[in-house]
Amino acid sequence: MSGVMASGGMGAGEPAREAARLLRMRRRRTWSVAGWGLCAIGFGLLGIAMGWILLMVLLRGFSALTPTVFLEVTQGTGGGLLNAIEGTLVIGVGSMILAVPFGVAAGLYAAQFSHTLFARAIRFMADVLVGVPSIVLGYFGYVTMVEGLGWKFSLAAACITIAILCLPYICRTTELALSQVPAAMQEAAFALGAGEGLVAWRIALPVAMPGVVTGILLAFAISVGETAPLIYTAGWSSYMWNGQLVGSPVGYLTYAIWAFINEPFASANALAYAAAFLVTFIVLLISVTARLVLLRRQGGR
Amino acid sequence: MSFRRVLAVFAAVLPASLIAVRLFLAVYSWPAVRFNGLGFITSTSWNLGNTYGSPIVRNGVQVLPGAHYGILFLIAGTLLSTLIALVIAVPIGVGAAIFLAEAVPARFRMWLSFFVELLAAVPSVVFGLWGYAVLVPLLGHYVFPVMGRVLGFVPFLGGSTGSGSGLLTAGIVLSLMIVPLIAATLRDAILAEPMVVRESAAALGVTRFEAVWKVVLPGVRKILIGVTILATGRALGETMAVLMVSGNALNYLPPNIYSPISTMAAFIVSQLDSALQDPTGLAVRSLAEVALVLSVISLGVNTLARLVLYRAGLKAARV
């Protein structure tokens, strides 16, 4: 470009214009370099914050991990976290048992009959439900089940509340996975005389299975990391789960983080960090696994 | 019944639960709505009344003498902390997205993006723990006093800098929680912009950054607006992290940016125990009204975000 400019006519005032052009060029270059710099700083800040949070949880949490944490139940502000570990897993599995059939069904409907009004309604409602603050769902669980049905703080109330929370995630990831199943594959099955049900069960779902499983895994991670709705529905218990669905509270790890960091005792704070380590470890492990499953399927990007 | 019918019945659980949540909250909080009236959102006073007094009847509702519920301070705390979070998060998110999409070699892009997305998976109570144990002491002891002295002449930035728990701290923690959403969505959008757009810009003689800033970024403007609104909804409803770093102020509006605040979501958690002391149950119902107001606001914000994103052609936004 500059070659074209230079070979142009050299009339009067040309050097001055050339100097102005160079100045403008330099200013633009400087601005561009500064722009890249600012973008790098933005990413850097994000990276530093991420590293800081993870490092704090891993270092402080790891040093607080003792065999007692895994072997004993909480006693006052000390002891272990066995009750909370069990509670977190029971709540997670229980809410998945409730959420998966309905969430997958909603996703299946939205994908297979995607042009119907009901499918569009499901998609929109799922997106709106994602936006409902989790504490609002918790309060709903409290009003209807803990108080209204007289279940008290209980496993059932916790699982149903968390299941509602997870429904839209499962629905949307299922739909996304199904929408990537080649239409020709399903049309071939229809041409052979298969019905809608057969095509969905034997063609679409098996092909989309990795995506569906990913969604369920991510929903499980959410149930492990949730706190606010559980405070209102599961309560807290220092004992192991007694097998009751209603009537007795359940302990869980995220409560231990929130409640024990405020205690003035070192033993309680250590339990909070240990719980934070376990929660973060489980959630990140699931997220990484889920992403790797997806990435392998998509062949990376 | 046909397969489609059976499937529809199962699928209907999702919309039904959303409607049930709103309906039950509205019905349950109705006595509180009637008693509190419009003053609920225009006055600053959360007062259970005399819990030892005998209940009286007002507006057809049983209440304790002296009871008054006004949550203007919660609305202010929620909106201000969200505003601060957006002011911090949007520039960082845009910068990080451009960096990831345009500056990083494709080989590393996947891993660095992955790192950003992990931040989105960290549970909010862990953010709260970090804020409580690391950020609050750091800001309260070192950063805020200096800020107060240097920037004291600016309104809202001067005055008592407090302990570190407060509006600005809550805003910072919230911003960290919404940045990954903004950065990841915008990165995907930038990557999806056709290469020919960049090439045409380059042919006109612009620098690479100018091509990104003035050609590619305006192309994804709608997605940026949509995801910012989506992030707003996320910040408005965030509970645990805010609860742990906001100082949980009761019944006053923040005089400056360091002042303790409370948000609607955090308040619902922190006040349940004391609300249960009210034998008439009006306090618990008023908390339900807080949840109702919060869910109405977030419904509006999210609907707006989805409409913008749908129109921008982003069918499945990151959830």
Q: What is the pLDDT at residue A6?
A: 45
Reply yes or no on whether the pLDDT at A33 is more than 60.
yes
Q: What is the pLDDT at residue B57?
A: 83
Reply yes or no on whether the pLDDT at A186 is more than 50.
yes
Task: Give me the residue from B24, B115, B133 closest to A144, CB to CB.
Answer: B24
Q: What is the DSSP letter of A132?
A: S
Report the distance separating Cα B268 and Cα B76, nearest Å: 15
Q: What is the pLDDT at residue B135?
A: 94
**Which pair of structure tokens corresponds to residue A285?**
């492990």
Report, as an integer, the average pLDDT of B121-143. Answer: 93
Report the distance separating Cα B49 and Cα B31, nearest Å: 16
Residue B121 to residue A287, Cβ atoms within 8 A: yes
Q: Is A52 on the interface with B (CB under 8 A)?
A: yes
What is the least distance, in Å, from the CA of B289 to any CA of chain A?
A: 10
Instruction: Output phi, psi for B67, to 5 deg.
Output: -70, 135
Residues of B in contact with A228 (CB under 8 A): 124, 239-240, 265, 269
Average pLDDT score over chain B: 89
What is the least distance, in Å, from the CA of A62 to any CA of chain B?
A: 15
Report the distance separating Cα A169 and Cα A221, nearest Å: 11
Average pLDDT score over chain A: 89
Q: What is the largest CA-CA distance in chain A?
A: 95
Reply yes or no on whether the pLDDT at A156 is more than 90.
yes
- Cα B4–B8–B14 angle (5° rounding)? 155
Instruction: Establish how many alpha carbons lie within 13 A of residue A263's alpha carbon, considering only the half-sphere containing its beta carbon.
Output: 18
Q: What is the pLDDT at residue B60?
A: 75
ipTM of the shown complex: 0.88
Q: What is the pLDDT at residue A301?
A: 38
Domains along chain B?
73-311 (1.10.3720.10)
- Cα A197–A200–A221 angle (5° rounding)? 130
CATH 1.10.3720.10 fits domain A67-298: yes
Report the distance separating Cα B245 and Cα B25, nearest Å: 28
Q: What is the pLDDT at residue A171?
A: 95
Task: Name the H helices within chain A.
Answer: 2-6, 14-64, 67-71, 82-112, 117-131, 134-141, 155-179, 183-191, 196-198, 205-225, 228-233, 253-260, 266-298
Residue B96 to residue A43, Cβ atoms within 8 A: yes
| A42 within 8 A of B93, measured Cβ to Cβ | yes
- Give the number of residues written for chain A: 301
Residues of A in contact with B303 (CB under 8 A): 128
Measure Cα distances from B46 to B69, B71, B82, B282 in Å: 5, 7, 22, 12
Report the distance separating Cα B169 and Cα B167, nearest Å: 6
| A275 within 8 A of A103, measured Cβ to Cβ | no
Residue B207 to residue A140, Cβ atoms within 8 A: no
Reply yes or no on whether the pLDDT at A120 is more than 60.
yes
| A253 within 8 A of A279, measured Cβ to Cβ | yes
Report the distance separating Cα A25 and Cα A9, nearest Å: 20
Q: What is the pLDDT at residue B314?
A: 65
Report the distance separating Cα A90 and Cα B152, nearest Å: 52
What is the number of other CB atoms lying within 10 angstroms of the CB of residue A183?
Answer: 8
| B290 within 8 A of B74, measured Cβ to Cβ | yes
Task: Name the H helices within chain B.
Answer: 3-11, 13-36, 39-42, 72-98, 106-121, 124-130, 136-138, 144-150, 167-192, 195-203, 208-211, 217-219, 221-237, 240-245, 264-275, 282-311
B271 closest CA partner among B256, B291, B255: B291
Residue A50 to residue B115, Cβ atoms within 8 A: yes
Place of tokens 């339990």: A271
The 10s digit of each residue's pLDDT in B172-222 is: 999 999 999 999 999 999 998 888 988 899 899 888 899 999 999 998 999
* Annotated domain spans of chain A: 11-63, 67-298
Residue B18 to residue A232, Cβ atoms within 8 A: no
Instruction: Give the lowest-confidence range in B4-8, B34-38, B111-115, B291-295.
Output: B111-115
pLDDT grade, residue A8 (50/70/90)?
very low
Report the distance separating Cα B269 and Cα B237, nearest Å: 12
A158 closest CA partner among A71, A206, A228, A74: A228
Report, as an integer, the average pLDDT of A41-66. Answer: 91
Q: What is the pLDDT at residue B275?
A: 86
pLDDT grade, residue A7 (50/70/90)?
very low
Q: Pairing state of beta strands B61-63 and B56-58?
A: antiparallel
Q: Is A261 on the interface with B (CB under 8 A)?
A: yes
A169 closest CA partner among A131, A133, A217, A219: A219
Task: Give me the residue from A121, A173, A279 closest to B126, CB to CB.
Answer: A279
Reply yes or no on whether the pLDDT at A297 is more than 80.
no
For a pLDDT cut of 70, what percent of chain B falls above it?
Answer: 98
**Which pair of structure tokens corresponds to residue A103?**
């969430």
Q: What is the pLDDT at residue A242?
A: 87
Q: What is the pLDDT at residue A59?
A: 92
Report, as an integer, the average pLDDT of B117-129. Answer: 90
Q: Is A25 on the interface with B (CB under 8 A)?
A: no
Closest residue in B to A279 (Cα) is B123
The 10s digit of each residue's pLDDT in B270-308 is: 998 888 888 888 899 999 999 999 999 998 998 898 888
The 10s digit of each residue's pLDDT in B60-81 is: 778 888 888 999 999 999 999 9
Reply yes or no on whether the pLDDT at B160 is more than 90.
no
Instruction: Establish how many alpha carbons lie within 13 A of residue A77's alpha carbon, considering only the half-sphere containing its beta carbon.
Output: 13
Report the distance separating Cα B261 and Cα B76, nearest Å: 9
Reply yes or no on whether the pLDDT at A152 is more than 50.
yes
For a pLDDT cut of 70, what percent of chain A falls above it?
Answer: 94
Reply yes or no on whether the pLDDT at B264 is more than 90.
yes
Report, as an integer, the average pLDDT of A252-278. Answer: 92
In terms of average pLDDT, the best of A252-261, B33-42, B50-59 is A252-261
The 10s digit of each residue's pLDDT in A202-250 is: 999 999 998 899 899 999 999 999 999 999 999 999 889 888 888 899 9
Interface of A with B in 128-147 (CB under 8 A): 128-140, 142-144
What is the number of other CB atoms lying within 10 angstroms of the CB of residue A196?
Answer: 16
CA-CA-CA-CA torsion for A85, A87, A88, A92, nearest 10 degrees?
140
Reply yes or no on whether the pLDDT at B152 is more than 90.
no
Q: What is the pLDDT at residue A263?
A: 87
B48 closest CA partner among B286, B293, B294: B286
Closest residue in B to A42 (Cα) is B92
Reply yes or no on whether the pLDDT at B169 is more than 80.
yes
Cα-atom radius of gyration of chain A, to the nearest Å?
28
Task: Give me the residue from A41, A50, A129 closest to B119, CB to CB.
Answer: A50
